[in-house]
């Protein structure tokens, strides 16, 4: 097992950054110039773009559709957009990651997608084994550039209001469809709208444009056709490879629960169910600069970047508080790493239902994200196959279309014997009293709420 002390992470030395930028793939493609400091540091390196660094290397990289990277020396590699936050390039046995840049005035954000962040934290690079770290920055030299502005939600306004569940709304949801049953949840009644916003994903996890699922190739379809019609990691020959349902509370930490749930489940699978561990979501919330704490985050940057670069640790080393506390993970705490990670399909926009089923059955549960309105009917799910309605919870003057991005864990799939409707089986992080003992089913094969757009898979190193 690899060991890593808290003092060995830069995350204990600098503040995380809010990342409200919104960059699409077409604004990243083109020729970039990368600048690097000397490749002599370890993961202790603190890269602050406001301070800058001494440039030791400069070279050009061309990023092509859909995920091809080439450098000026003839080396080939890959790249991917990382949600709308930034991008990662893997070339010549090195990885480069940075957030994209932006400016913000009040609630108006201007995304500057043709350069890496100048806000902080900065960009890092390291070799394929996680050594020889360096700070890096990038400037795009060619490619389309347009000024993109958007307005972010006024999160302070949520502090004043409270969430209510009108019984008539629940009844109306049940009246307009028969696929699933809605119910009232007393535990949410009277919670602040800020609490509910964070519970649904948090203000900083919003993705403005989900990619459409990729076309299914004949080869992928042939593999998918060979899979069982239904599958559930909670019951494989009487054995469950899924850890227990947890409750994130009013912290926008669903990305941590979905990501660590995937690693926990896949570790059980890799150990033939002889190892069952409880990983620390609070360590991710408090210690990872790749995400934004209780304000939100993303599975690719958690199960992927953070788990591979810095490792995740056990719950006992930093018990869950559900708040933006300082990083207090025990010094010298053991760390568990991921050997590899990617978007299902290999890059952002390469995912589809069939690839997800193949990965799920072969390698274990998948971390996914999906989007919906904060006051949509989903919060009232009780049982059945969730299909969205137009019914919304009435919460006074607040915009019922405030969109959220919620991360969860897919553990299986099936098909309803009566209706023939296909569905995913999904583990939520709102406690075992919500939904079907903490789980829900959502329609499969139609990309409902973007559920088949950006699944993430990671392969952990056995503990």
Instruction: Specify the length of the chain in residues.
Output: 463
406 is catalytic: yes
**Got the DSSP string for 41-110?**
B-TT----TTT-----EEEEEEEETTTEEEETTS-EEEEEEETTTEEEEEETTEEEEEEEEEEEETTEEE
> Catalytic one among 287, 317, 406, 447?
406
14 is catalytic: no
**Distant-in-sequence, close-in-space partners of 211: CB < 8 Å, separation ≥ 6:** 25, 348, 349, 351, 453, 454
> Catalytic one among 317, 352, 428, 447?
428
**Got the DSSP string for 141-208?**
EES----EEEE---GGGGGT-B----HHHHHHHHHH-SSEEE---GGGTT-BHHHHHHHTT-GGG--S
Q: What are the C-alpha distances in Å from 368 to residues 165, 182, 298, 344, 389?
A: 27, 23, 9, 10, 21
Decide: 280 and 319 in contact? Cβ < 8 Å: yes
> Catalytic one among 113, 254, 287, 351?
254
- Specify the 3-state DSSP secondary structure of 394: coil
Tokens of 367: 């971390």
150 is catalytic: no
Q: Round to whole Å and give the CA distance between 248 and 244.
A: 13
Q: Round to whole Å and give the CA distance between 22 and 14.
A: 24
Q: Round to whole Å and give the CA distance between 293 and 297.
A: 7
Q: Round to whole Å and give the CA distance between 116 and 407.
A: 26
Decide: 57 and 128 in contact? Cβ < 8 Å: no
Q: Phi and psi at residue 348, in whole multiples of 5°?
A: -65, 115
- Specify the 3-state DSSP secondary structure of 135: strand
Q: Round to whole Å and give the CA distance between 445 and 355.
A: 11
Tokens of 49: 């773009």
Provide the pairing of β-strand 134-142 with 231-232: unpaired
Q: Round to whole Å and give the CA distance between 61 and 79.
A: 10
Tokens of 54: 């001494």
Hey, which residues are catalytic here?
254, 406, 428
């Amino acid at each position: 097992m690899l060991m890593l002390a808290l003092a060995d992470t830069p995350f204990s030395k600098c503040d995380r950054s809010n990342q409200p930028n919104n960059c699409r793939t077409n604004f990243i493609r083109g020729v970039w110039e990368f600048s690097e400091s000397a490749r002599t540091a370890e993961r202790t390196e603190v890269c602050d773009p406001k301070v800058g660094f001494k440039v030791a290397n400069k070279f050009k990289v061309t990023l092509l559709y859909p995920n091809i990277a080439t450098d000026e020396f003839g080396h080939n590699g890959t790249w991917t957009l990382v949600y709308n936050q930034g991008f990662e390039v893997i070339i010549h046995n090195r990885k480069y990651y940075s957030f994209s840049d932006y400016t913000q005035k009040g609630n108006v954000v201007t995304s500057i997608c043709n350069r890496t962040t100048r806000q902080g934290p900065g960009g890092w690079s390291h070799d394929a084994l996680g050594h020889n770290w360096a700070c890096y920055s990038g400037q795009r030299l060619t490619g389309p550039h347009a000024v993109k502005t958007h307005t972010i939600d006024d999160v302070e306004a949520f502090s004043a209001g409270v969430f209510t569940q009108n019984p008539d709304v629940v009844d109306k949801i049940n009246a307009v469809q028969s696929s699933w049953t809605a119910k009232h949840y007393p535990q949410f009644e009277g919670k602040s709208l800020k609490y509910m916003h964070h519970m649904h994903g948090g203000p900083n996890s919003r993705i403005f444009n989900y990619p459409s699922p990729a076309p299914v190739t004949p080869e992928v379809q042939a593999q998918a056709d060979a899979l069982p019609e239904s599958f559930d990691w909670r019951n494989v020959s009487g054995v469950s490879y899924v850890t227990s349902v947890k409750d994130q509370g009013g912290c926008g930490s669903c990305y941590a629960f979905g990501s660590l749930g995937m690693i926990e489940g896949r570790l059980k699978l890799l150990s033939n169910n002889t190892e069952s561990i409880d990983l620390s979501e609070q360590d991710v919330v408090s210690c990872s600069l790749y995400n934004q704490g209780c304000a939100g985050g993303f599975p690719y940057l958690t199960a992927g970047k953070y788990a591979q670069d810095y490792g995740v640790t056990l719950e006992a080393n930093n018990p869950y508080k559900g708040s933006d506390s300082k990083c207090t993970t025990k010094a010298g705490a053991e760390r568990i790493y991921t050997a590899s990670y990617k978007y299902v399909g290999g890059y952002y926009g390469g995912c589809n239902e069939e690839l997800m089923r193949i990965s799920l059955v072969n390698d274990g549960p998948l971390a996914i994200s999906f989007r919906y309105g904060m006051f949509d009917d989903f919060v009232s799910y009780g049982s059945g196959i969730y299909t969205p309605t137009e019914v919304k919870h009435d919460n006074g003057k607040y915009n019922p279309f405030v969109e959220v991005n919620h991360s969860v864990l897919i553990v299986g799939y099936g098909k309803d014997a009566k209706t023939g409707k296909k569905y995913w089986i999904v583990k939520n992080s709102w406690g075992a009293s919500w939904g079907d003992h903490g789980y829900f089913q959502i329609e499969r094969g139609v990309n409902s709420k973007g559920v088949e757009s950006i699944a993430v898979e990671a392969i952990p190193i056995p503990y």
